[in-house]
Amino acid sequence: MKRLASILAALAAVIAVAHAETEVVVSVPDQRLFLFQNGRRVASYPVSTSKFGIGSDARSYKTPLGTLAITRKVGAGAPLGTVFKGLQRTGEILRPNAPGRDPIVTRIICLDGTEPANSNAAARRIYIHGTPEERTIGRPASYGCIRMKSHHVAHLFDHVSIGARVTVTPFSLSRVESGDFVQN
């Protein structure tokens, strides 16, 4: 009964997110990011969350759960594959699946937690960002961040603003249509 109550509470939070102006929902089990505008799903992308699981412990390399907010956007206008280090362009550009390296590329959407459990997200440098390792998208492979294909993160970057809410949920969302969620 306690588990059912927590599932219902989480789903209520996800549904509330879907009915706000511009919102992002990340389903960890589905490895998908959903973009909502005015309560309607406008996009869905495959992502890669942490290969170390979910959680907010410092130095855990886990993807934090709960509600976060977009605090900064870096990389507007940069070519796809632009490499960033310390939130600065390095001048290098990588193509998808370039061998041997795994830097942050294309765009960076900085996140901070809005709940006590994930309030250290900014200090942990949790971002939504592009990766040259696009072959890993769709399965857990990151070090805590939410990774996307370069063309997907560029599209998302253009459709979210500072302050927009991002909800990372441990629940599978088998279908997302017009803001309606059905859990599997």
Domain assignment present for 30: no
Q: Which of 125, 130, 126 is nearest to 153 (CA)?
A: 130
Q: How far apart are CA 106 and CA 115, in angstroms?
A: 28
pLDDT tens, residue by residue, 84-129: 999 999 999 999 998 878 899 999 999 999 999 999 999 999 999 9
Burial degree of 144 (CB within 10 A; 0-12, 13-18, 19+) = buried
pLDDT of residue 13: 53
Domain assignment present for 117: yes
Domain assignment present for 81: yes
Domain assignment present for 55: yes
The percent of residues in the chain predicted with pLDDT above 70, rounded, is 83
Q: How far apart are CA 118 and CA 140, in angstroms?
A: 19
Domain assignment present for 69: yes
Is the pTM higher than 0.75? The answer reads yes
Phi and psi of 136, rounded to 5°? -90, -10
Residue ranges making up the domain that contains 145: 45-167
Domain assignment present for 20: no
Domain assignment present for 138: yes
Q: Contact, 47 vs 28, CB < 8 A?
A: no
Q: Any idea which residue has 């900014």 for tokens?
A: 122
Q: Contact, 26 vs 169, CB < 8 A?
A: yes
| CATH number of domain containing 64 | 2.40.440.10
Domain assignment present for 83: yes
* Count of structural domains, the chain: 1
